[in-house]
Amino acid sequence: MRPPKGQHGFVPWKLSGLRTGGAARGANALRDAHDARTVLTTEALQRTPLHTLHVELGARLVPFAGYEMPVQYPSGILAEHRHTRAAAGLFDVSHMGQARLHGTNAASALETLVPMDLRGLAFGRQRYAFFTNDAGGILDDLMVTNRGDFLYLVVNAARKAADFELLKNLDFEILADRALLALQGPTAAEAIARLSPRLASMPFMSSDSAKVGDFVCQVSRSGYTGEDGFEISVAAADAEPLARLLLAQPGVAPVGLGARDSLRLEAGLCLYGHDIDETTTPVEAGLEWAIQKVRRRGGAHEGKFPGAALILDQLERGASRRRVGIRPEGRAPIREGETLHDSTGRAVGRLTSGGFGATLDAPLAMGYVETEFAAPGTPLSATVRGKPRACRVSALPFVPHRYHRGKPK
Residue number, 5 or 147, with CB nearest to other proteins = 5
Nearest-approach distance from CB 98 to other proteins, in angstroms: 27
* Nearest CB to other proteins, comparing residues 205 and 358: 358
**Smaller CB separation from other proteins, 12 or 185:** 12
Query: Hey, CA dihedral for 22, 59, 69, 280, is it positive or negative?
Result: positive
Return the closest-CA partner of residue 376 out of 325, 321, 322.
325
In the complex, the smallest distance separating the C-beta of residue 150 from other proteins, rounded to whole angstroms, is 38
**DSSP one-letter string for 290-323:** GS-GGGSTTSTT---STTHHHHHHHHHH--SEEE
Q: How far is the CB of 23 from other proteins (least distance, A)?
A: 12
Phi-psi region of 26 (alpha: psi -120 to 50; beta: other; left: phi over 0): left
**Smallest distance from the beta carbon of 72 to other proteins, in angstroms?**
6
- CB 337, CB 378: distance < 8 Å: no
Nearer to other proteins, 207 or 262 (CB): 262
Beta 88-92 vs 252-254: how paired, if at all? parallel
User: Residue 53: CB partners within 8 Å, gap ≥ 6?
Assistant: 240, 243, 244
Please state the closest distance from residue 76 (CB atom) to other proteins, in A. 5
**Shortest separation between residue 407's beta carbon and other proteins, angstroms:** 37
On the question of a cis peptide bond just before residue 282, with omega within 30 degrees of 0, the verdict is no
Residue 31 or residue 297: which is nearer to other proteins going by CB? 31
One DSSP character per residue, 199-264 reads GGGPPTTBEEEEEETTEEEEEES--SSSBSEEEEEEEHHHHHHHHHHHHTSTTEEE--HHHHHHHH
Tell me how many degrees the CA angle 26-32-34 measures, rounded to the nearest 5.
150
CB 221 within 8 Å of CB 56: no
As measured in angstroms, the least distance from the Cβ of 79 to other proteins is 8
Kindly state the smallest distance separating residue 252's Cβ from other proteins, in Å: 21
User: Smallest distance, Å, CB 30 to other proteins?
Assistant: 5
Residue with Cβ nearer other proteins (185 or 333): 333
Distance (Å, rounded) from C-alpha 238 to C-alpha 216? 9
* Residue 101 three-state SS: strand
Beta bridge partners of 234: 179, 217
CB of 365 to other proteins, least distance (A): 13
DSSP 8-state assignment for residue 4:
P
CA distance 226 to 246: 20
What letter represents residue 196's amino acid?
S
Give least dist CB 363 to other proteins, A. Answer: 8
DSSP state of 278: T
Distance CA 72, CA 386 (A): 31
User: Could you list the residues that contact other proteins (CB under 8 A)?
Assistant: 1-5, 7-8, 10-14, 28-31, 33-34, 71-72, 76-79, 258, 261-262, 330-333, 335, 355-356, 358, 363, 385
Q: Closest CB to other proteins among 152 and 356?
A: 356
The nearer residue to other proteins, 11 or 174, going by C-beta atoms, is 11
